[in-house]
Structure 1
Amino acid sequence: MSDPSRHPPTQAALGILFLILATAFFAVLDTSVKYVGAFVPVLMAVWFRYMFHAVVVTAVMLPLRGRSLLRTAHPRFQVLRGSLLLAVSAISFVALQYMPVGEFTAIVMITPLVVTLLAALFLRERVSALRWVLVTGGFAGALLVVQPGGNVIGWASLLPLVMVFTYAWFQILTSKMARTEDPMTMHFYTGWVGALLSSLVLPVVWKTIPDAGTFAILCLIGLMGTVGHFLLILAFKRTQASTLTPYLYGQIGFAMFCGWLVFGHVPGQLELIGIAMIVLCGATASWLTARDRRLPVEPPEA
C-alpha cells in the first residue's frame, strides 16, 4: 500500500469524502437493522448482512485478484477475526432493538478508549495520564447515555458495552494481522466466516419474509455494510489515519438524523451531554492513537 502522506491534497480530500460516505452508510445500516427487527428475527438480518458481503466481495475481487485473494499467513487468525466481527454484529443488532440509533452509535464510539484500556491491562502498553483521563471521561459519557435504570431494559443497556469490548479485541487483532495480511484478503475472509457461522443457526431462526419491502431492507443492510467497508478501505488508502480520525464521529450525527427521520426520536439533555463527552474524549484518544500509529482507527459498523 502506498504512503498516504505522499498523496496530493486532492487525494486527501477524496479520502475524507469516502470516509464520510462510509459513516453515512453505516448509520443507514444500523437504522435499517432496528426497523427490520420488528418483522424478522435479528439473526436472519445478520445472515443477510454477511452472505451479501461474502458473495459480492467474491464476485468482484476474485476475478481481479485470482488465488492471491485467498492467500493468508494466518488462517486461524482469519477465522478468529471473522468470528469476533460476527459476534459484534449479532450483539449490536440485538441492542439496536432496545436503544435509539444515535445513542447506540455514540456508545460504540468509546471503542478507541476501550482499546487503550485493554492494551494497558493485557498487552502491557504504557498509557499516559491524559489517556486515562480520556478513558474515564468517555465511560462517564457512556453512563449518561445509557442511564442504567432508565427507559432501556436493564440487561439490554449492557449490550453496547459488551459489544464495544468485543469490537476492541477485533481492532487489536486487526492491527496485528495488518502487518502481514492484505486488507482485501481480510475483507474476503471476514465475509465468508460470518456467512458460514451464521448459516449454522439459520434453520433455527428462519422465518418467512413477509413482503418484498422487508426483503429489500434486508438486502439494503447487506449493501450498506459491504459498500461501507469498501469506502473505508479506499479512504485509508488515500489519507492518513490521523487526518481522517475527526471525521469518524460524524457517524453519530448521521445516526441521530436517521433515528429522528425514521423513528421520530430526539435525544434528551443528559444523553446529549453524554454524547458530547464521548465525542470529545473518543476523538482525542483516536487522534492520539492514529498519530502514534499504534493501532488502526476504524468507524464501527453494527
Structure 2
Amino acid sequence: MTGGVPARPGLGIVLILLMAACFATMDTAVKYVGAVLPILIVLLARYGVQAASMGLWLAGSQLRGGAGFRSAHPRFQAVRGALLLTSSTFGFLGLRYLPVAEFTAINMLTPVMVTLLAATLLREHVSRLRWALVVGGFAGALIVIRPGSGLFGWAVLLPLAGSVAYASFQVLTRKLSALESPYTTHFYTGLTGTLVVVALLLASDVPLRATLQDATALQIGLLLAIGTLGTLGHLMLVLAFGLAPTSTLMPFMYVQIAFAAAVGWLVFRHAPDGWGWIGMAVVAVCGAASAWLNVREAAAARAPVSALGADTIVD
C-alpha cells in the first residue's frame, strides 16, 4: 500500500461490501422517490450533499495543511464531473422504468464498455480474450433484457447510455486521476454536478421551492439519504482501495447485483426470473474478468489503477 498505510484486505473487502449496499439502497430510494418528484430535484440532492460534505472535508484538510481545494487540472475536473452527471441522469431516469436488480446488471457492463472505448477511441490493443468478454457481457445483457419480449421496451436504452457515459468517465479518469487528490476530485465532481443541475433548474419550469414545500417528510428524508449514500459509497471505495489490492476487491463489487435484488424485493416485491438471474451472472463474470485484466495490465505497466479510476459503479 502507498503512503505507509498497512495492507488490510479483510477491512477493504468489508468496505466494498458496504459500498455495494449503499449504492443498491440509493438506487432503490431513487426509484421510489423519482416516481413522484422531478429527476432534477433528485439529482440536486445527490450532488448537492456530496459537494457540501466534501467541501467541509477539504476545508478541514486545508486548515491542517493539506492540498484542500487546489486543483491542477480544472478542465479535467469539469469534464469528469459532467460525464458522471450524464451517467447519473440516464441512470435515474432508467430507474423509473426498470427493476433495480436488472438495472444494476446493465450498469455493470461498464468494464466491457471501457474495453470497447479504449480500442476505438484510444487505439489500445485489445486481445482476443478481451473481445470475448465484451461479447459475453453484451450477451448477458441481452439475456436480461430479452429484446422483443416486451419486458422493458425502450427503457433499457437509458442504463445502456448511462454505461457509455460512465465508461467515458472511466477512460478519462484512468488517464488523468494520478494528477489529482481523489478527495479533491470527489469534491469537484459533486460541485460540477450541483452547478449544472442548478442551471438546468433555473432554465426549467420545475418549481423547486413549491415542490420541496409540498414534499412529505419521507420524501425529504429519502432525498437526503440519496445524497448521503452516494457520497459515502464513493468514500468507502476510496478507503477500500487504500487498504487492499484492486485485484482482491474487484470481484466483490459485483455483489451489488445481489444487494440490488434483495432490496428491490423488500421494497417493491420484485424478483428477477430464472433467465434474469442467468443474464446477471454472465454480466458479473464478464465484467469482473474485464476489470481483473485491467488491473493486471496496469500492474504490469507499473501504472496502478487509482481508487477513482477503478470504480465500476455508476452513481
- In structure 2, C-alpha distance between the alignment counterparts of 1:180 and 1:187, rounded to whole Å: 13
Q: Is the 8 A contact 2:250 2:291 kept in 1?
A: yes
1:281 equivalent to 2:278? Answer no
- In structure 1, C-alpha distance between the alignment counterparts of 2:255 and 2:228, rounded to whole Å: 20
Q: TM-score, normalised by structure 1?
A: 0.94
- Percent identity, please: 45
Which residue number corresponds to residue 250 of structure 2?
245
Which residue number corresponds to residue 170 of structure 1?
169
SS, match of residue 194 in structure 2: helix
Mean alpha-carbon deviation: is it higher for 70-79 or for 45-54?
70-79
- In structure 1, C-alpha distance between the alignment counterparts of 2:150 and 2:55, rounded to whole Å: 43
Which residue number corresponds to residue 261 of structure 1?
266
SS, match of residue 178 in structure 1: helix
The C-alpha deviation readout for 1:90-147, integer Å capped at 9, x for no partner, is: 1100000100000111111110001001101111111111111110010011111122
For 2:184, give the aligned amino acid. T
Which residue number corresponds to residue 82 of structure 1?
81
The one of 23, 44, 64 equivalent to 2:41 is 44
Q: Is the 8 A contact 1:106 1:252 kept in 2?
A: yes
Aligned residues: 299
Runs (4 or more) in structure 1 with deviation over 6 Å come to: none
The C-alpha deviation readout for 1:56-96, integer Å capped at 9, x for no partner, is: 11112212235722222211111000000111111100000
Root-mean-square deviation (CA, aligned residues, Å) is 1.7
- In structure 2, C-alpha distance between the alignment counterparts of 1:181 and 1:275, rounded to whole Å: 35
- In structure 2, C-alpha distance between the alignment counterparts of 1:199 and 1:259, rounded to whole Å: 30
SS, match of residue 238 in structure 1: coil
Structure 1 alignment gaps of length 5 or more? none
- In structure 2, C-alpha distance between the alignment counterparts of 1:42 and 1:150, rounded to whole Å: 28
Q: Is the 8 A contact 1:21 1:228 kept in 2?
A: yes
Structure 2 alignment gaps of length 5 or more? none
Q: TM-score, normalised by structure 2?
A: 0.91
- In structure 2, C-alpha distance between the alignment counterparts of 1:89 and 1:265, rounded to whole Å: 23
**CA displacement at 1:153 relative to structure 2:** 5.0
1:297 equivalent to 2:313? Answer no
Mean alpha-carbon deviation: is it higher for 86-95 or for 203-212?
203-212
Instruction: Identify if the C-alpha distance between structure 1 residues 3 and 140 changes in structure 2 by more than 3 Å, giving closer, same or farther.
Output: farther
- In structure 2, C-alpha distance between the alignment counterparts of 1:190 and 1:80, rounded to whole Å: 9
Which residue number corresponds to residue 135 of structure 1?
134
